[in-house]
């Protein structure tokens, strides 16, 4: 159920408020483009600067707009286990198909702390859990051993792998049956070579059909044909993840493409003018301008 091309959806803002009109247009765009799943209120959706009320309302809006057409995996993670449970229970009641649970950040749990955190969420809320392992943004990450241990818990069904380590992904793939999803667009195909089944994608915000074409081939087992899409997407993907902190570059690209406002919330700041010139060149070379 949770495989293929899933978009890490931005949260558009207009004059400091969530822009629901644009959000609806973006959801419709993904439904028309064949996207396999929508992931709101994650890193790309700027969840750290959404109020709890906004966070919950965005999830409700996305679920209602998607209307069962494709799975909605709601970002409901937190560095507080009780808060993550509250957000996840709300997502369940709203009709989300699963939750995306980022590793707790700042308080830097031990591996046992990670295990108990996710175990408690899975036990308290009857909703499938997609683990999100991204040590680069969280001060600490889970080992493969912890993820394998968590795979034995009912409701924990997948992991979004954003460690950049094929060794960790290989260890997970060889020792449990969790679905492995890439958390880095540039590594979707390399991860597929060791057992990955798709991506929760930033670049799919602007080229969903292309990401879908690649992941369809991956799921068919045709990694040779998928490689052509990997090479086409690589520079664009790498630029959007390295030019500045996500979601700064993708929001800049979406404004350039007249898809959504660039507006961010502090402490996120807009892409510099010099980098926007480079970004326009990259978008033009890809064929988007």
Just list the catalytic residues. Answer: 132, 160
- The string of DSSP letters for 115-164 reads HHHHHHHHHHS-S-EEEEE-HHHHS----HHHHHHHTTSTTEEEEEE-S-
Asked whether the beta carbons of 13 and 264 are under 8 A apart, the reply is yes
Cβ-based neighbour number of residue 85 at 10 Å = 19
Phi/psi-derived region of residue 208, left when phi > 0, alpha when psi is between -120 and 50, beta in every other case: alpha
Distance CA 41, CA 8 (A): 8
Q: Name the residue among 66, 58, 56, 73 with its Cα closest to residue 30.
A: 66
């Amino acid at each position: 159920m949770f495989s293929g091309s899933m978009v890490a959806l931005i949260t558009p803002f207009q004059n400091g408020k969530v822009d629901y009109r644009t959000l609806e247009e973006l959801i419709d765009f993904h439904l028309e483009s064949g996207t396999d799943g929508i992931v709101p209120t994650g890193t790309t959706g700027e969840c750290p600067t959404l109020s709890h009320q906004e966070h919950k309302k965005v999830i409700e809006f996305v679920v209602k707009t998607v209307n069962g057409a494709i799975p909605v995996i709601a970002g409901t993670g937190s560095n507080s286990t009780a808060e993550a449970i509250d957000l996840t229970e709300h997502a369940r009641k709203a009709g989300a198909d699963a939750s995306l649970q980022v590793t707790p950040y700042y308080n830097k749990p031990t591996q046992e702390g990670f295990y108990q955190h996710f175990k408690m969420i899975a036990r308290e809320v009857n909703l499938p859990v997609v683990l999100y392992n991204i040590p680069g943004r969280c001060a600490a990450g889970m080992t493969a051993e912890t993820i394998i241990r968590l795979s034995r818990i009912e409701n924990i069904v997948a992991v979004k792998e954003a460690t950049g380590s094929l060794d960790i992904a290989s260890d997970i793939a060889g020792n449990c049956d969790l679905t492995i999803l890439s958390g880095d667009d540039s590594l979707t195909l390399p991860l597929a070579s060791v057992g990955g089944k798709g991506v929760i994608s930033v670049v799919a915000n602007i080229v969903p059909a292309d990401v879908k074409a690649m992941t369809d081939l991956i799921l068919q087992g045709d990694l040779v044909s998928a490689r052509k899409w990997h090479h086409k997407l690589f520079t664009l993907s790498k630029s959007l993840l390295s030019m500045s902190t996500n979601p700064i570059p993708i929001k800049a690209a979406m404004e350039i493409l007249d898809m959504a406002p660039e507006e961010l919330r502090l402490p996120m700041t807009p892409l510099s003018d010099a980098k926007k010139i480079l970004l326009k060149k990259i978008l033009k070379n890809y064929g988007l301008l």
